Structure 1
């Protein structure tokens, strides 16, 4: 939506129209807040829409597992609207050290609630005959699967409309001021006034928080994803590797999506990141080693997406330190899976409710003075 006369003073303005910002906006609106969402591009056009769509509990950190399980259930509930498929997932070890690492890691994740079982080489071969026969051990989770991340924007656009959230797409926030206890968001189409704000704009969060004088140690990874041409069926499960450096799945149309966090280059300010050939080739070599039939497939497209993180790799989810009525949400590893749920929790926090599960206070990275201000 471009061009507007927003004389309304909203209860909440959400900056960022990805999964987390949208989910928080919907929760706040359904809780009675008059809510506006501002997105500099289109809904779901950032990391929420360009990731590989993997919904694997096996690749989630132990402490985040309860959030991932609940987020996974929300994607399953969305079903065909987001292209949800439960395929089961295998994480492979090809050496004894990898097998030891896999055994230890998956035991902790199973204890955290993921329904993971270990599979012998013979069981792996029976389940997925197209995999490399050098598998030493694998873990399996029947809940693993994927959704179509390119449907994120369409899906949330409908939910936002249903909740009565005012949405402005292709409208950047150029500055934030304070006046009479409210925030004034400066945009090319005019000011937007709100009592509270939520910063949930992914790789751009650091810059927006800086508009309020808050410096958070947010860094950005430039993850690369590749997709092949349509191929005959070669693998049915979501495939990962014990190192965490591979995700692979064949979709119903025959294309195979390949990821694993291999890095491109660039910054959010520059727009889309740039693919680094050597990084991509290393990713593809590992994928072909795991699934040898990929050697006869051609790559159709490669792209990148920005994934923000902080030094401890746990989310920023809570009040913005030192700025009353401002909140921030992002830096969630596995954010595609976890996003719908942690967004709901943030909406509850903004509504003044006690979230069902604890959030991750951003004040842990703030200077002592800002931490003190945030607790008073």
Structure 2
């Protein structure tokens, strides 16, 4: 079944970025529909650890992260937002040098990061190891409950009268004026389309004969049983290989980008015990009392990236009327804001901050 009047835009991907864009274009008067092959907010937006730490964001993306963090704070209890502050730790002289270099650049980019002495660290977090050689602190760091992402944005779309379809995989896209999107729930017609499907961007763009250089990481998160109070803050490591927080119910969430197995085309990724073990070992090194904790569950989530590790945000090369948004390192924090910027661009407005041309030359940048 094909609807008679085309939507102004069909957004393929119902995660944070797709939903935030839909809300923005609807505010500007466009008719939009959001399509997701699963449930809203249940891809990368719903399976990550929920960490909202400015200390682990890239220097050049810091202005976007600061604005995104502010939007999460405005969402508040609806997304389980908690501002706990966060410490990033170094255990060796080499890690201490790395920490000082990176966090100084991030502070210069606007993040309220400071270096703290061990006595202050131990006063704040007495259960941390005493083998810390250097530590930085950001009072703005915290977390949200990523499992609430879908429910939150589903409510926002309903309040804005924006239709959405879940379990609605796009299997073919016919270019034209309008585009015609084939789905199990019928054909969707739209004047414009936005590809915002995260790790599934590459096969989706291929439907339009566009080869996006998108790769997918298979990040792993683990959760422990309920424990007595051990840490109040978000805890990270200078290498970026550890993020850890204790929720109000006592469980401890442990992540840090350790890789599982699988590809988006194969469905959900699988946990690799060989990478979970060192992740948990690093967490226990930081908080020795975790040695007595049982891990209840570990799971994976795909995180898309391109060779230079900056976002794709702009017109899809060679396809008039098509746009792409995704591949944002730290996308959980930045997502609500970059979605607004994308919406402004689609509306023909000048975005508050620059977007990221999907047609650029890609060179790896690790800053």
TM-score, with length taken from structure 2: 0.97
CA contact (8 A) 2:33 2:163 kept: yes
CA contact (8 A) 2:175 2:208 kept: no
Question: Is 1:26 aligned to 2:23, yes or no?
Answer: yes
Q: CA RMSD in A?
A: 0.9
The CA distance in 2 between the partners of 1:114 and 1:365, in whole Å, is: 29
CA contact (8 A) 2:2 2:189 kept: no
Q: Which of 215, 220, 223 is equivalent to 1:219?
A: 215
Give the deviation of 1:189 after TM superposition.
1.8
Question: Is 1:76 aligned to 2:73, yes or no?
Answer: yes
Q: Which of 59, 62, 68 is equivalent to 2:59?
A: 62
The CA distance in 1 between the partners of 2:290 and 2:3, in whole Å, is: 53
Structure 1 range deviating more: 184-193 or 306-315? 184-193
Question: Is 1:334 aligned to 2:343, yes or no?
Answer: no
Q: Which residue of 1 aligns with 2:365?
A: none
1:1-376 equivalence runs, <5 A = 6-179=3-176, 181-365=177-361
CA contact (8 A) 1:9 1:193 kept: yes
The CA distance in 1 between the partners of 2:349 and 2:140, in whole Å, is: 31
1:282-340 superposed Cα distances (whole Å, 9 cap, x missing partner): 10000000010100000011100000000000000000001111000000000000000
Q: Which residue of 2 aligns with 1:370?
A: none
Other structure's SS at 1:173 match: coil
Other structure's SS at 2:87 match: strand
Give the deviation of 1:8 after TM superposition.
2.8
Equivalent residue pairs, number: 362
Other structure's SS at 1:171 match: coil
CA contact (8 A) 1:217 1:365 kept: no
CA contact (8 A) 2:15 2:150 kept: yes
Structure 1 range deviating more: 170-179 or 82-91? 170-179
Other structure's SS at 2:175 match: strand
**Structure 1, gaps ≥5 residues long:** 367-376
CA contact (8 A) 1:120 1:136 kept: no
The CA distance in 1 between the partners of 2:175 and 2:342, in whole Å, is: 22
The CA distance in 1 between the partners of 2:26 and 2:44, in whole Å, is: 24
CA contact (8 A) 2:8 2:191 kept: yes
Give the deviation of 1:5 after TM superposition.
5.6
1:106-131 superposed Cα distances (whole Å, 9 cap, x missing partner): 11000000001101122111110000
The CA distance in 1 between the partners of 2:185 and 2:289, in whole Å, is: 52
Give the deviation of 1:7 after TM superposition.
2.7
CA contact (8 A) 2:234 2:245 kept: yes
CA contact (8 A) 2:17 2:338 kept: yes
Give the deviation of 1:182 after TM superposition.
1.2
The CA distance in 1 between the partners of 2:85 and 2:43, in whole Å, is: 27
